[in-house]
Copies of this chain bind each other. A is one copy, B any other.
């Protein structure tokens, strides 16, 4: 060992790191953990490691949705190995990869696949984003309804390694190929081997989805019926399945989008640190500008009340306070209703029930804040911290009454907005906290100055 080695034994350039050695150290790891390791190293090294892993494990790694730069890694491999590995990756994941690459690279990649898979992938690629078709896989287990339990089990043993799941087995009509029943592997193994496979089928109707169904709806069905997979059918023929793990990924992604939209921006489906500057500008700037332009109406509204402002400058002191309270109560109501609609606890026809609840809720919450506001103004006046003028009691009353009206209006607006968006064909989850606040701000000003002119006419105004 030389001095140099002792001083800094890890300071080797990247090209001296042996991928074979690293691959060997990963053999006992789980694929998702290997993915995390590969995401942290240069693409060349990651490819080197993949090539040195046992092919089964490499395929499992390529099958993970979390693997970054997957098209690049595949492009760096020798063509024959890439083709062999890709052939083992599940169809829905391969379609995912193709979604990430553009021409002419996607054609090059398609050339790596055998003819059958190519047709398959081409079809999967046609389904729009966020549909059942876009997250389904075509590798499922099906048997004709003439099979016995034993024949079915033999078939499952034979195809097990090439199917995404074998826990749900689809029993098809031998002639029409239409879906007859589903059988679960757990019931299958308890059945009499010589009995027909339909003897262990689940009684009742089969839960199915269509390829164009929204993936959120698919998730809801899988979650409601506690399924491990749901068949995607086209005229009663199974064209693919959506498995529970794909649905979990979809639910988590939808959540992220919902929170981002609720925060007042367009949804971004990428890790924060990987969002480029211009993408960030696009996703945030659009909404920010739209909200700003609407909020410009507050300046116009204020201009309309210029006379009042000049006479009673004390009124300006409470403008931020009053407006934000309306926005806050609206944001609370919106968050409640977005989820109630998403979870199908409420239908669009229930809007009036909600309105009938939100009006008293808003009045009560507004009265609470109004009281706090009146106490605060009275206290400051009484303690001599600030002089609100001779009519301070009327000013306090104006603030209190305006708060009742504005919080009520905020709750009502915030609760109705998701319904209105759904009615006009938008996702109710597009209702964001900033959106509600902006809607409430202009009206809030009008309410405030109307209350003021009623209460203060003849004294301050």
Give chain A's interface residues, CB within 8 Å of chain B.
Answer: 28-30, 32, 66, 153, 156-157, 160-161, 165-167, 185-187, 189-190, 203-205, 207, 219, 222-226, 228, 244-245, 247-249, 251-252, 255-256, 258-260, 262-265, 268, 271-273, 277, 280-281, 284-285, 287-289, 291-293, 295-296, 298-299, 302-303, 306, 309-310, 313, 316-321, 323-325, 327-329, 331-340, 343, 345-346, 350, 353-354, 357, 360-361, 364-365, 368-369, 372-373, 376, 386, 407, 432-434, 437-438, 441, 445
Query: Do residues A332 and B263 form an inter-chain contact, with CB atoms below 8 A?
Result: yes
A339's contact among B228, B256, B306, B369, by CB below 8 Å, is which? B256
- Tell me if A's interface is mostly helix, strand, loop or mixed: helix
Q: A30-B204, A222-B248, A263-B262 are in contact. Are A160 and B189 (CB under 8 A)?
A: yes
Query: Do residues A263 and B433 form an inter-chain contact, with CB atoms below 8 A?
Result: yes
Query: Do residues A360 and B277 form an inter-chain contact, with CB atoms below 8 A?
Result: yes
Q: How distant is A35 from chain B, measured CB to nearest CB, in Å?
A: 9
In this complex, the member of A205, A310, A328 whose beta carbon has the largest number of chain B beta carbons within 10 angstroms is: A328
Closest B residue by C-beta to A261: B335
Query: Do residues A324 and B437 form an inter-chain contact, with CB atoms below 8 A?
Result: yes
Q: Once bound together, how far apart are the Cα atoms of A204 and B31, in whole Å?
A: 10
Query: Do residues B295 and A335 form an inter-chain contact, with CB atoms below 8 A?
Result: no
Q: Which residues of B contact A346 (CB under 8 A)?
A: 272-273
In this complex, the member of A277, A329, A339, A364 whose beta carbon has the largest number of chain B beta carbons within 10 angstroms is: A339
Query: Do residues A263 and B167 form an inter-chain contact, with CB atoms below 8 A?
Result: no
Query: Do residues A327 and B263 form an inter-chain contact, with CB atoms below 8 A?
Result: no
A345's contact among B272, B285, B336, by CB below 8 Å, is which? B272
Q: Once bound together, how far apart are the Cα atoms of A298 and B373, in whole Å?
A: 13
What are 30 residue pairs bridging A and B, where the CB atoms are less than 8 Å apart in the complex?
A: A30-B204, A32-B225, A156-B189, A160-B190, A185-B189, A219-B248, A222-B248, A223-B249, A251-B252, A255-B255, A255-B339, A258-B259, A259-B259, A259-B335, A260-B332, A263-B331, A284-B361, A287-B328, A291-B325, A292-B369, A292-B372, A292-B373, A293-B372, A309-B313, A316-B319, A320-B320, A320-B445, A323-B323, A328-B434, A331-B434
Chain copies in complex: 2
Q: Which residues of B contact A373 (CB under 8 A)?
A: 292, 296
Q: Once bound together, how far apart are the Cα atoms of A338 and B259, in whole Å?
A: 8
Q: A306-B313, A313-B310 are in contact. Are A324 and B259 (CB under 8 A)?
A: no
Q: How distant is A347 from chain B, measured CB to nearest CB, in Å?
A: 11
Q: Once bound together, how far apart are the Cα atoms of A306 and B247, in whole Å?
A: 57
Q: Which residues of B contact A329 (CB under 8 A)?
A: 284, 288
Q: Which residues of B contact A339 (CB under 8 A)?
A: 255-256, 259-260
Q: Once bound together, how far apart are the Cα atoms of A13 and B157, in whole Å?
A: 56
Query: Do residues A281 and B343 form an inter-chain contact, with CB atoms below 8 A?
Result: no
